[in-house]
Amino acid sequence: MPRSVPTICPYCGAGCGFYVNVEKGRATNIEYMADHPASEGALCSKANASLEVLYHPDRLLHPVKRSGDQLTRISWDEALEAAARGLAGTLRRFGPDAIGILSSSKCSNEENYLIQKLARLLGTRNVDNCARLCHAPSVVGLNRSLGAAGMTNPFADLANSRCIFVIGSNLAENHPVMSRWIHKARSKGAIVIVADPRRTPTSWMADHFLQLGPGTDVALINAMASVAIEQGLIDRQFLDLWTCGYQELKSSVKDCTPSWAEGITGVPAEDIVSAAQAYAASPASSILYSMGITQHTTGTDNVQALANLALICGQIGREGTGLLPLRGQNNVQGACDMGALAEFYPGYRRADDPSSIEHFRQAWSASDLPVGRGLTATEMIDAAADGRIRAMYIVGEDPVNSEPHGGHTITALESLDLLVVQDIFMTATASHADLVLPAAAWAEKEGTYTSTERRVQWSCRAVDPPGEARTDLQIVCSLGKRLGLPLDYPDASAVLAEINRLVPAYQGITRDRLGPGGLIWPCPSVNHPGTPILHSSGFKTADGRATLLPVHYRPPAEKPSERFPFTLTTGRIALHHNAGSMTRRSPSLMQRAPNLFVEINPADAARLQIEDGDDVEVSTARGRTRAAARTTGRVSPGVVFMPFHFPGTNILTPDARDSQAGIPEFKVAACNISRSD
């Protein structure tokens, strides 16, 4: 008899649920989950095509080991012994700081918890996940401003907003199921503001569209705050009761007038005023943002500027308000919650706080644990290049395609003494590995995933992994045992039970409570219903107050020049996801979006004698790549756009970073564009 197995979509952080129909041990099709609280039965194109990934001929079926230029099939015993021997040898010869471990926001909470535990029991501080490349500024900025690094309100609450400010996010394409909640709010009369360097499908729903220059977000947001203060649209009662630092913030934005911001952003001053009035005067306003805000050298500043705007207007802690960072990967929120970060242990306990170390030392019965911030994902690549890191264990990530300055990443990985990659496909990164371990995909294992709205959901195993592939949980535990580490867990439920004991926000999120729709953290006890809206009675800080943190506009790290006269910005499109390791193996998606392209304004194209569809070369100081030209008014003159799902884009991007969160500058690069011969 066919059976329907509930699962969670493996793509973006929206956390949409659906059923996998299974017949004779094979996933045959999907069935919509009409009662899911976030998606209500809707799915995007990627989710609808998700089963194509499971049975793709490129799936890794057996462990392989490099021998010269060849990868040779070996047994699991050989693979695990080689990995353990290599890591132990590195530890013995060079110490724990010579090991780097990349966890995965594609993995479950339980798997991420075990990966970071493996790292710390080995003694290395160097553990991180791809949040470093997307929402690390949200973790740093929201923790610093509000005391909690999570979306403040659930998606469904957008229907209660009277004004919705979307900045740095093309959610109509990238989180399309979630954009339905904005349409519901609009049907009730809500005003929508969209700020973006491109005229995206999201801008089509805007009452106010602010087409700002790439990397000028702080100038725009500070000007909006200045308008709110000057026109008396702030919430003085809220400020006095729940915040500190208002006078300093007021002084910092005094000269950030709309006219000043117009000169930087290109947005007309009157449009800035209108948008600020709409946001501040509304009885319930919300802010949605994504990587258009975070992937900058000023990413943390951008997040803190948005928090400042929400706080001075009292637009937080109530229905229809809040700050909603839209996470890119299905479990990037959970990976951070679980401590797969260079600066945090599980539950965001600081790695440089001795009390954190003592807490986990006792809980894990460990004689010692590493203290202090480790290297971030991007810093590990640099450390590999210069010989400080000698071995890396990479789970479910593809830094060759996802890190900036891709040529540098390849050089760094080839410099390692040992590279172990664990994945479902032979990615560009895996092709450089000494050992490749075949992992199970999402529908082939069980565990919890935490969506961008902090919703923790249980995803069931629908089918068996192909060939000899194993779950990440099984692989990490087996590797840990060979390294002499106490990692002995029979299943995900056993790991979740440990998480319940050690992460306060997850204490009440037990396996037997995770029915349809899951629970939203913080959920501190088994009798607690979860907390959909954060900060309704103060903030998770020492004094219960949020902190207003002045930030000042700083230009991007690269500016156009005579050699590179254009500004390149990057982003996502509807039919692909992140580095494309899964969607570029989906035939139905590739049929509709098969190639890399670059958008260029028609005026620029005419001047360069480029026609729509021409093969062009895009170059920066790091390298060059070819793409198909798309002439479009979506981008302003002087700006070009490329999606980052295809190999080639991140060859071009700079490795300049946010000094506070460590995220690279993906959204602004000086480039040139010319017709290919």
Q: What is the pLDDT of residue 329?
A: 86
Per-residue model confidence (pLDDT) at position 135 = 82
Average pLDDT in the chain: 95
d(CA 639, CA 602): 11
State yes or no: pLDDT of 131 exceeds 80.
no
Rounded distance between C-alpha atoms, residue 124 and residue 342, angstroms: 10
Cα gap 503→191, rounded to integer Å: 38
Q: How far is CA 607 from the centre of its chain?
A: 37
Please name the fold of domain 566-675.
Barwin-like endoglucanases (2.40.40)
Average pLDDT over residues 90-113: 97
Does residue 126 have a pLDDT over 80? yes
Is 149 a residue whose pLDDT tops 90?
no
- Give the residue among 646, 650, 667 at the shortest CA–CA distance from 658: 667
Q: What CA–CA distance (Å, rounded) separates 233 from 321?
A: 16
Q: Residues 6 or more apart from 134 whose CB is under 8 A from it?
A: 291, 294, 295, 327, 328, 329, 332, 663
CA dist., res. 201 & res. 234, Å (int): 31
In CATH terms, 64-133+330-504 corresponds, of 3.30.420.40, 2.60.40.10, 3.40.50.1820, 3.40.50.740, to 3.40.50.740
Q: Per CATH, which fold does 136-325 belong to? A: Dimethylsulfoxide Reductase; domain 2 (3.40.228)
CA distance 565 to 115: 44
Is the pLDDT at 303 greater than 80? The verdict is yes
pLDDT digits (tens, 9 = 90+) for 463-483: 999 999 999 999 999 999 999
Q: What is the DSSP letter of 28?
A: E
pTM of the model: 0.95
Q: Coil, strand or helix: which one is 491?
A: coil
CA distance 99 to 389: 6
> Do 439 and 396 form a contact (C-beta atoms < 8 A)?
yes
Phi, psi of 375 (to 5 degrees): -80, 140
pLDDT band at 652 (very low <50, low <70, confident <90, very high): very high
CA dihedral 413, 415, 420, 424 (to 10 degrees): 30
pLDDT of residue 21: 96
Q: What residue spans define the domains of the chain?
A: 64-133+330-504, 136-325, 566-675
Q: What is the pLDDT of residue 411?
A: 94
pLDDT digits (tens, 9 = 90+) for 353-370: 999 999 999 999 999 999
pLDDT for the residue 285: 98
Judged against a pLDDT cut of 80, whether residue 133 lies above it is answered with no
d(CA 313, CA 275): 13
Phi and psi at residue 70, to the nearest 5° = -110, 150
Quote the tokens at residue 30: 């999907």
pLDDT at 347: 95
- DSSP-assigned letter for residue 372: S
What are the tokens at 544? Answer: 């219960």
Please report how the helices 217-230 and 299-312 are oriented relative to each other, as an axis angle in degrees rounded to 10.
Answer: 20
CA distance linking residue 596 with residue 103, whole number of Å: 28
- Mean pLDDT, residues 611-625: 95
Q: Check residue 650 and give its pLDDT.
A: 87
User: At 256, is the secondary structure helix, strand, or coil?
Assistant: coil
The residue whose two tokens read 């593809």 is 398
Give the three-state DSSP class for 257.
coil
460: pLDDT strictly greater than 80: yes
Q: Please report which confidence band the pLDDT of residue 513 belongs to, taking 50, 70 and 90 as the band edges.
A: very high
Q: How many Cβ atoms are within 10 Å of 612's Cβ, its own excluded?
A: 12
